[in-house]
Structure 1
Amino acid sequence: MMDEEARQNWQLILTPTGVEWSGRTRYAAAMYFYKAGEMSAEVLEIYRICSRLDNEDAMDALKAYHMGREWIEKVERMRTDLS
């Protein structure tokens, strides 16, 4: 069972691209998952790089660079579960 804080951070990290401040929103949520031990430093760095780019999805970068396979799978499951 997911607690309310985790659910809120999942919703934040899944913020669509193109929304003003969405890159920073996703990065803030990524910090939560990193501190919780659910995300590697390598994946967090991609979110940091993308944080100022509201139109860039860190997930696309992770896929392009073949990084964070486990995180990508988790995000794809959560997109389905939370929709």
Structure 2
Amino acid sequence: MTEADAEFAEQWRLVNTPLGEEWSGRTRYAAAMWFHKRGDMDAETLEVYRICSRLDSTDPLPIIRDRGVGLEWLRRMEAQR
């Protein structure tokens, strides 16, 4: 596994941090920023992660769906689960 692959795997693990864990919202948001910087996530989707960053038990995916943003991100998340 290359260093880039390892970093991607780590960020993917972080963006999927289980709900309800202490600081999990902030962890997911930090990973979401990494994906946004890579061009894998649009600004509207990142904004949902920002809003949820202080809400450790709130799943950002239903909010993303409700807002009708991040369709490619949602496909990617659903494919990996």
Could you state the TM-score of these two structures normalised by the residue count of structure 1? Answer: 0.89
69-78 or 30-39, which deviates more: 69-78
**Native 8 Å contact 1:10 1:78 kept in 2:** no
Where in structure 2 are the equivalents of 1:25-44 lying within 5 Å?
A: 25-44=27-46
The root-mean-square deviation of aligned C-alpha atoms, in Å, is 1.4
Matched pairs, number:
79
- The corresponding residue for 1:55 is 57
Structure 2: 5+ residue runs without aligned partners? none
**What letter corresponds to residue 71 of structure 1 in structure 2?**
W
Could you state the TM-score of these two structures normalised by the residue count of structure 2? Answer: 0.91
Share of identical aligned residues, percent? 53
**What letter corresponds to residue 4 of structure 1 in structure 2?**
A
**Native 8 Å contact 1:23 1:54 kept in 2:** yes
Q: Distance in 2 between matches of 1:72 and 1:27?
A: 15
Q: CA deviation at 1:77?
A: 1.4
Structure 1: 5+ residue runs without aligned partners? none
Q: Kindly report structure 1 stretches of 4+ aligned residues shifted beyond 4 Å.
A: none
**What letter corresponds to residue 36 of structure 1 in structure 2?**
R
Q: Distance in 1 between matches of 2:70 and 2:42?
A: 8
